[in-house]
């Protein structure tokens, strides 16, 4: 069976190890391939032993990159570009499917893994799409380090200029850089959905009906608010985003992961 290379990045203390473990469980339960799962981090305590840890690097261009990010008020926003360095994983073969930690796997990932070979793939950003602008969303991304090492190299060569051009947005930098080379394809929007835009009704129906899980959804993204921990029990801090508890979220994100990995790894 083919091997699916999966990667995420975790820095700081915002997300605990259970986020990485639950993502690992969600992927391996929902893809028609053997899974090799990597996490780039400075804190790997509590990870499932099958997760391969990559040290979070201090890039030689970090100071210049951070200076540009400070102007854009987007501190830390470009750390993910370290994943694009060619040779990061010496024995790697084939592409990598990457995820942010604030996503939940809800269906078969194989179509995303297999689509558009040789290209960078991301979902169209929801806000940018509404405005008619061509920017990918960074919550789910597929790339091949052997083919797309320029995503790292060009930032390393001109960090201030590239960050300034991308207005401090890693997803804008990544998707636009690939588009410039004819190297980009969109992941179908019905496969990667937004909780607040695709699962949650607008007022007043969000008060009357629980959040729905679209039938075709393979990944649900929790960008902005509410986050997964808030949506599981119901979110009541916003009239627009008010929601009843999402039972399907608890099932896919917590219950099935605990059944797969055990509570010691999948519980918070």
- pLDDT tens-digit series, residues 90-137: 899 899 999 999 999 999 999 999 999 999 999 999 999 999 999 999
Same domain, 237 and 143: no
Threshold 0.85, pTM exceeds: yes
Q: The domain that contains 9 carries what CATH number? A: 3.90.550.10
* Final residue before a domain boundary, out of 186, 220, 244: 186
Q: Give the confidence band of 76 by pLDDT, cuts at 50, 70, 90.
A: low
Overall domain count for the chain: 2
Same domain, 91 and 161: yes
Q: Give the confidence band of 72 by pLDDT, cuts at 50, 70, 90.
A: confident
Same domain, 45 and 166: yes
Same domain, 162 and 234: no
**Residue ranges making up the domain that contains 242:** 193-266
What is the model's pLDDT at position 1?
Answer: 62
CA angle 248, 253, 259 (to 5 degrees): 105
Q: Please compute the mean of the pLDDT values over residues 50-57 and round it to a whole number.
A: 96
Complete DSSP assignment for the chain = --EEEEEEEE-SSSS-HHHHHHHHHHHHTS-SSEEEEEEEES--TT--TTSEEEEPP--TTHHHHHHHHHHHT-TTTTGGGGGG-TTSSTT--S-EEEE-SSEEE-S--HHHHHSSTTSEEEEEPHHHHHTT---EEEEEEEE-HHHHTHHHHHHHHSHHHHHHHTTT-HHHHHHHHHHHTT-EEEEPTTTEEEIIIIISPPTTHHHHSPPP--TT-SEEE--SSS-HHHHHH-B-S-TTT-B---HHHHIIIIIHHHHHH-HHHH--
Same domain, 150 and 236: no
What is the model's pLDDT at position 166?
Answer: 93
Both structure tokens of 131: 């405005």
Q: Rounded to an integer, what distance in angstroms lies between the CA atom of residue 214 and that of residue 199?
A: 7
Among candidates 111, 117, 103, 254, which has minimal Cα distance to 190? 111
Same domain, 139 and 13: yes
Same domain, 197 and 178: no
Q: Select the more confidently predicted residue: 23 or 1.
A: 23
* Final residue before a domain boundary, out of 131, 151, 186: 186
Tallying the residues shown for the chain, one arrives at 268
Residues contacting residue 43 through CB under 8 Å, at least 6 positions apart:
10, 13, 17
With 90 as the cut, is the pLDDT of residue 254 above it?
yes
Query: In whole numbers, what is the pLDDT of the chain averaged over residues?
Result: 95
Same domain, 97 and 130: yes
* Rg of the chain over all Cα atoms, to the nearest angstrom: 18
* Final residue before a domain boundary, out of 144, 165, 186: 186
Same domain, 146 and 26: yes
What is the model's pLDDT at position 69?
Answer: 87
Same domain, 10 and 95: yes
Q: Please compute the mean of the pLDDT values over residues 162-186 and round it to a whole number.
A: 95
Q: Please compute the mean of the pLDDT values over residues 263-268 and round it to a whole number.
A: 94
With 70 as the cut, is the pLDDT of residue 267 above it?
yes
Lowest mean pLDDT among 60-64, 198-202, 248-252: 60-64
With 70 as the cut, is the pLDDT of residue 158 above it?
yes
- pLDDT tens-digit series, residues 204-246: 999 999 999 999 999 999 999 999 999 999 999 999 999 999 9
Q: How many C-beta atoms lie closer than 10 Å to residue 77's C-beta?
A: 22
Report CA-CA distances (Å) from 16 to 137, 250, 265. 23, 17, 11
Q: Please compute the mean of the pLDDT values over residues 78-87 and round it to a whole number.
A: 92
With 80 as the cut, is the pLDDT of residue 77 above it?
no
Q: Please compute the mean of the pLDDT values over residues 18-45 and round it to a whole number.
A: 97
- Point out which residues pair with 9 in neighbouring strands: 40
Could you tell me what percent of the chain has a pLDDT over 70?
Answer: 99
**Is the Cβ–Cβ distance between 240 and 200 less than 8 Å?**
no
Across the beta sheet with 103-105, what order do the strands follow? 103-105, 219-221, 192-194
Same domain, 199 and 109: no
Same domain, 155 and 232: no
């Amino acid at each position: 069976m083919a091997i699916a290379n999966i990667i995420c990045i975790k820095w700081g203390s915002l997300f605990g190890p259970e986020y990485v473990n639950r993502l690992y469980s969600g992927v391996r339960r929902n893809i028609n391939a053997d899974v090799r799962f990597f996490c780039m981090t400075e804190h790997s305590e509590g990870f499932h032993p099958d997760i391969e840890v990559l040290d979070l690097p201090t890039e030689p261009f970090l100071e210049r990159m951070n200076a540009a990010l400070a102007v854009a008020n987007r501190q830390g926003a470009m750390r993910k570009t370290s994943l694009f360095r060619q040779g990061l994983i010496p024995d790697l073969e084939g592409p990598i499917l990457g995820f942010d930690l604030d996503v939940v796997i809800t269906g078969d990932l194989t179509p995303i893994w297999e689509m558009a070979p040789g290209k960078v793939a991301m979902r169209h950003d929801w806000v940018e799409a509404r405005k008619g602008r061509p920017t990918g969303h960074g919550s789910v991304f597929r790339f091949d380090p052997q083919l797309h090492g320029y995503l790292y190299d060009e930032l390393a060569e001109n960090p201030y200029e590239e960050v300034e051009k991308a207005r401090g947005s890693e997803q804008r930098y990544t998707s636009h850089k690939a588009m410039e080379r004819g190297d980009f394809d969109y992941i179908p929007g019905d496969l990667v959905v937004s909780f607040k835009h695709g699962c949650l009704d607008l007022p007043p129906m969000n008060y009357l009906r629980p959040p729905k899980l679209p039938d075709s959804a393979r990944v649900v993204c929790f960008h902005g608010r509410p986050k997964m921990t808030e949506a599981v029990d119901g979110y009541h801090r916003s009239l627009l985003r008010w929601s009843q508890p999402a039972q399907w979220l608890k099932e896919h994100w917590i219950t099935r992961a605990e059944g797969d990995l055990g509570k010691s790894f999948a519980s918070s």
